[in-house]
Amino acid sequence: MKLREGFRLRKVGNKYIVVGLGGINFTGLITVNDTGAFIWHMLEKGAETGEIIDALAKECDVEPMSIASEVAAFIYKLKGAGLIE
């Protein structure tokens, strides 16, 4: 999976905000929490959904199946916003 070029995640205070760089016409404001930032950084590395679920489960010391639907839903929202190719 790959994030669309021209978008970056920036930390502002204790929140993370997705920003469009250059001449990208992006009028929305997307904020994410620490978990969303973790997923974003995995996507920057080209990770697939299963890899992200496994890495996040390990990071949070939970069973992968307990977070799989939430991770998939977050990725689906990023796709819907046009942030994932």
What is the chain's pLDDT, residue by residue, as a tens digit (85 residues)?
889 888 889 998 888 988 877 655 656 678 899 999 999 999 999 999 999 999 999 999 999 999 999 999 999 999 988 889 8
The count of domains in the chain is: 1
Please give the model's pTM, rounded to 2 decimal places. Answer: 0.87
In a domain, residue 24? The reply is yes
Q: Domain limits at 32? A: 7-80
The predicted pLDDT at position 79 comes to 92
In a domain, residue 85? The reply is no
Of the candidates 48, 52, 4, the residue with the CA atom closest to the CA atom of residue 30: 4
| DSSP sequence for 29-46 | -EEE-HHHHHHHHHHHTT
